[in-house]
Amino acid sequence: MMYFCPTMQKFVYIALLAFLFLLTGTDCLAQEEGEPTTAYLTPTYIHEGDTIPYVALPAVYIFKPVTFKNKRQERRYNKLVRDVKKVLPIANEVKNAVIETYEYIMTLPDDKARQRHLKAVEKSVKEQYTPRMKKLTFSQGKLLIKLVDRQTNSTGYELVKAFLGPFRAGFYQAFAALFGASLKKEYDPQGEDALTEQVVLMVENGQL
């Protein structure tokens, strides 16, 4: 995200206006008299009484260049980038599914109808995602657990418990523990997952 001081903001506003004026002027000069003109609607922003075009600029993340002590560290970083690109879309799908499921069950008349729907959702999720999960490596699976927590603000254990109850949550947690994983694992962007957070932000922004 880029921030500007008031003086710099005025300069940017003037530059944008000049740019838009040049585009408009060039277009008008290229048209012959009597030709229809094309109009474009541009969002505006009122600044100190002046109406100016408003252009939303995408965030640009600038991090300290990653340095590697050896080739092993470089390979691990490149693997992290590949894993994030593969797993992040799944975490986003989980987020959307959680939101849609919650919103829908709130429209159902009673707990019996909600439980019936959640069982159907659980079956559908198993059928849809089991083949995809089998293609993930162990490290990718652990990363997915963390990214689900990042995207939903809830651990996998908390999500299962909320939708399917504590018994099912305990079952899935015990199953994950057999493979050395934990559905209770939380995402720590300021600590052990700091590098992962940097990669995620840049992947989300199209910088990687």
Q: Is residue 29 domain-shared with residue 130, that is, in the same domain?
A: no
Q: Is residue 12 domain-shared with residue 97, that is, in the same domain?
A: no
Which amino acid makes up residue 117?
H
Domain total of the chain: 2
Domain hosting 87: range is: 71-204
pLDDT at 174: 84
Retrieve residue 67's tokens.
């340095």
Determine the average pLDDT of the residues in 48-59: 76
State yes or no: pLDDT of 81 exceeds 90. yes
How far are the Cα atoms of 2, 3, 33, 45 from residue 57, in angstroms, in the given order? 9, 11, 35, 14
State yes or no: pLDDT of 96 exceeds 80. yes
Question: What's the predicted TM-score (pTM) here?
Answer: 0.67
CA distance 118 to 102: 10
Which of 31-40, 49-58, 190-199 has the least mean pLDDT? 31-40
DSSP string across 70-84: SHHHHHHHHHHHHHH
Residue tagged 């009597």 (tokens): 34
Q: Is residue 75 domain-shared with residue 49, that is, in the same domain?
A: no
At residue 2 the predicted structure's pLDDT band, cuts being 50, 70 and 90, is very low
DSSP string across 118-144: HHHHHHHHHHHHHHHHHTS-HHHHHHH
State yes or no: pLDDT of 45 exceeds 50. yes
Rg of the Cα atoms in the chain: 25
pLDDT at 18: 47
pLDDT at 61: 73
Q: Is residue 136 domain-shared with residue 36, that is, in the same domain?
A: no
**Within-domain flag for 64:** no
CA distance 122 to 160: 10
**Within-domain flag for 180:** yes
Which amino acid makes up residue 61?
Y
CA distance 164 to 171: 11
**Within-domain flag for 42:** yes
State yes or no: pLDDT of 17 exceeds 50. no
**Within-domain flag for 197:** yes
